[in-house]
DNA sequence: AATGAATGAGCGTTCATTCAT
DNA sequence: AATGAATGAACGCTCATTCAT
């Protein structure tokens, strides 16, 4: 009753809202963010354009919400691993493995939004928030492991984590553009070696990773 | 998919053509590829919209040509380093340094085109060609160094180079989105350590890099 | 052109109907007729859009009914004065005073509907009916006064009344547009002088109006 | 060269511009201002919608310019009469005659814009400017006549002029709504009588108007 | 060769209306 | 009876492109 004229409830739609967003995510991954029109999402979801308008208020808001939904998955998965945080080398390895196995559609979605964020202040804030959330579990794991004596970092924690994340995200373009995709296993070894070097992992804490001790054996 | 029937001479414009392209590159870096209109390039270059169309035929062709011009610069710089190829660790360090010091506008340009390439077959070909050209000097340097006994690679050359390039390109989003930009020096150490590990650099060949021998001294 | 097939009961809503109409009138005066949407009336009245449609059937019918309600007020007030009709100069003065003191919101309402009526046959009928009803008390007063010997009209009654009403309505735009609003008193004198001239008011019937005799004294 | 992107030359179109505006004026008089779409003016003038956009920048600007063009005619005609200003009663009579013979399409145009102006600040400014320009010749004529001894005004000049203009504009709705249109001659007499009263016209200056001296003879 | 003028295709958005509850 | 949800029609506007000079 007496809602402002232009103001639509940001939560209209209920279940259909989530349904629509999943389709929006797929469309963005397929066509690119800039090329994603209401008509595309409407066609993909079978819901009228004006209904989408009613749900989200504007195209941009719809896309931002699709972005949020898409990234929540990534962050949640990371937090799940972090919840069992014990600061061990194995945990970090698991986190890296998860990052390296990010599916191509997720990479495409992230790529679209990061690229758009460069020219859009609101998206940039979202991107910054995502970056922080994504890195937090890494930071915690490194800090805990350091306190427990498993790691003797050569650099600031932030730098180590950033370099690790960059190495993971560095896979984005090879993956989405179809270059060199299959050799992820070898890439994994190198990334872990880089991490082990930066953390100066104590040898007694390294067990499962062939590359993990490879930098010690030398 | 190019080469439309009515395609104008691809060389119309002469000197002004290059002049326009440089402005087009700047506009794309500033506004994003999708948001770059004829009117923007016309305003930036001071040349009428219909003249631009006379030069390039269509907006898409103009942007593709701008992309070509922009990437040529990157590849040329890399080839210059490669021309004095001696397969030494120092050379690789110089190449990495050059990659890590890629200016933000260049990153933005590359980001725009890689992102667009995901949804455009023609751009994808260009991207693949660029990837190959960019990696070639690295491959040569590693191969030559290996032949000369400076390196004893733990992995296939291609994997090593790819991981190196990924680590460099992984800086793209932190740089263009303004996260964590300043600590490039520490990042450099880590990247070089990773490379030294992968190449198993002989200690007698390492001289100028503090990080270069840091992975040996252990 | 009204009375569509599916027309809902024109009396749905009961008391709330009148309540809504008053809000509709206010909204039209505020925003203009063309800019008045269901959503505006819904917001102003606190009643859902679809309920309004249940009451009135369509936006146009709602606005027409609001117009009817708004004009009834004007006509009723005029009839009240006319009910004590004694054909005296004083009565005409009172009617003129009432016309000149029409509040701005009423002028705005009338203006909106008259303007709309120019392009809408149904509204035009309403406007014609209103015009007739509004002028009737004037006509009666003039006729009665003439019969009783108070006036010796120089022109047809209809012409005199029309000129009088035009002089009153001529204030509409100065009032609603905010030009020259305050000097209504002087304007009143001039209008009354014009009327006295047209009616050739007998001097013995003129008493209370300073302007009434001012045209005699000369 | 290098015009701002959204900025179009407000003077594009040349002759066609005036041609379009005349059609726009006709459409507004026919359909009403709020109901006048680009498509209507395009159809009436035979010029594409996007061309109109190019000329005027926006629908609102097109309508405002049409308004200006329509009112210039009225003001110019008034100024022409005023240019031979001699402060005589005959001149004022001529000005009133011109006002009373305003053609219905002009009244419709004015009505549309005045009504719209009530809810639009920019139009309101235009309306205020028009009001001032339109009244100026009347003011000058009255002042000159007063100085020359032809008039001995009973009220402030501004009040007299306003009441005169109001009486003229009071004809608007009867004319555009088709009420009582034909009896303009009788109406003219009454208006002139009102004016003669307000100005206390010296009898020796009155010649052509039967109503002019009729208010003296009583 | 270079440009201004004209235009059509396409998109986001508004809003009255229909439908189901 | 009252309402929220869904939707199609319509409009203003942007922009790449075509045409004539």
**Which of the four pLDDT bands, split at 50, 70 and 90, describes residue A203?**
low
Residue C119: list chain D partners with CB under 8 A. Answer: 30-32, 35
Tell me: pLDDT of B20 over 60: yes
Average confidence (pLDDT) over D126-148: 94
In a domain, A185, yes or no: yes
- The set of residues, in sequence order, having a beta carbon less than 8 Å from that of C179 and lying 6+ positions away, is C173, D128, D131, D162
How far is it, in rounded angstroms, from Cα D115 to Cα D125?
13
C1 CA to F6 C1' distance (Å): 28
Q: In the prediction, which pLDDT does B209 show? A: 45
pTM for this one? 0.86
Q: Work out the pLDDT band at C32, boundaries 50, 70, 90.
A: very high
- Mean pLDDT, residues B83-110: 92
Extract the tokens encoding D64.
């405002």
Residues C52, C21: Cα–Cα separation, whole Å: 10
Domain count, chain D: 1
Each residue of A52-99: pLDDT tens digit? 999 999 999 999 999 999 999 899 999 988 888 888 999 999 999 999
User: For chain A, what is the mean pLDDT?
Assistant: 86
Q: Is residue D138 part of a domain?
A: yes
List helix spans (H) across A85-149. 89-100, 104-117, 121-147
pLDDT computed for residue D22 by the predictor: 95
Domain boundaries, position C109: 15-207
> C208 pLDDT exceeds 90?
no
- In the block, residue with structure tokens 């009469």: D81
What pLDDT score does B216 carry?
Answer: 35
d(CA A66, CA A13): 14
Chain D residue nearest residue C155, CA to CA: D186
A2 pLDDT band, cuts 50/70/90, is very low
Q: Is D3 on the interface with B (CB under 8 A)?
A: yes
What is the CATH number for C125?
1.10.357.10
B173/A170 Cβ within 8 A? no
- Listed in sequence order, the residues at least 6 apart from C62 whose beta carbon sits closer than 8 Å to its beta carbon are C21, C24, C38, C41, C52, C55, C56
A10 located within any domain: no
pLDDT-based confidence at C36, cuts 50/70/90?
very high
What are all long-range contacts of B135-141, with beta carbons under 8 Å and residues at least 24 apart? Answer: B135/B161, B135/B162, B135/B165, B136/B82, B137/B78, B137/B79, B137/B81, B137/B82, B137/B85, B137/B95, B138/B92, B138/B95, B138/B164, B138/B165, B140/B82, B140/B85, B141/B82, B141/B85, B141/B87, B141/B91, B141/B92, B141/B95
Q: Would the pLDDT of C214 be above 90?
A: no
Tell whether B214 is covered by a domain: no
Instruction: Report yes or no on A138 lying in a domain.
Output: yes
Rounded Cα distance, D49 and D188, in Å: 44
Instruction: Compute CA distances B198 → A107, B152, C119, D66, whole Å.
Output: 26, 8, 83, 76
Is residue D218, in this structure, part of any structural domain at all? no
The answer to whether B37 contacts chain D (CB < 8 Å) is yes
CA atoms within 13 A on the CB side of B109: 24
Contacts made by residues A60-64, CB under 8 angstroms, sequence distance 24+: A60/A122, A61/A10, A62/A21, A62/A24, A62/A38, A63/A24, A63/A28, A63/A33, A63/A36, A64/A122, A64/A123, A64/A126
- pLDDT tens per residue across span D3-53: 333 344 456 767 899 999 999 999 999 999 999 999 999 999 999 999 999
Q: Is residue D104 part of a domain?
A: yes
Nucleotide nearest to B4 (CA to C1'): F17
Q: Tell if the CB–CB gap between D186 and C114 is shorter than 8 Å.
A: no
Residue C91 has pLDDT above 50, yes or no: yes
Q: Is C57 left (phi over 0), alpha (psi -120 to 50) or beta?
A: left
Q: Give domain status of residue A37, yes or no.
A: yes
Please judge whether A4 and C43 are an interchain contact, meaning their C-beta atoms are less than 8 angstroms apart. yes
* C148 secondary structure, DSSP code: T
Burial of B55 (0-12, 13-18, 19+ CB in 10 A): buried
The whole-angstrom separation of Cα D82 and Cα D80 is 5
């Amino acid at each position: 009753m007496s809602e402002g004229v232009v103001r639509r409830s940001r939560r209209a739609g209920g279940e259909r809202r989530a349904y629509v967003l999943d389709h929006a995510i797929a469309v963005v991954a397929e066509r690119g963010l800039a090329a994603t029109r209401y008509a595309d999402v409407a066609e993909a979801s079978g819901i009228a354009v004006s209904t989408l308008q009613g749900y989200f208020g504007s195209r941009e808001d719809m896309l931002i919400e699709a972005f949020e939904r898409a990234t929540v998955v990534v962050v949640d998965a990371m937090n799940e691993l972090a919840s069992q945080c014990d600061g061990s080398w194995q945990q970090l390895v698991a986190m890296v493995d998860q990052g390296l196995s990010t599916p191509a559609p997720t990479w495409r979605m992230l790529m679209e939004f990061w690229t758009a964020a460069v020219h859009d202040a609101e998206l940039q804030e979202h991107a910054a928030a995502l970056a922080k959330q994504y890195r937090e579990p890494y930071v915690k794991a490194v800090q805990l492991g350091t306190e427990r004596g498993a790691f003797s970092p050569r650099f600031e924690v932030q730098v180590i984590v950033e370099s690790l994340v960059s190495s993971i995200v560095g896979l984005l373009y090879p993956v989405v553009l179809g270059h060199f995709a299959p050799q992820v296993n070898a890439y994994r070894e190198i990334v872990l070696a880089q991490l082990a070097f930066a953390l100066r992992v104590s040898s007694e804490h390294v067990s499962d990773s062939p590359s993990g001790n490879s930098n010690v054996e030398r």
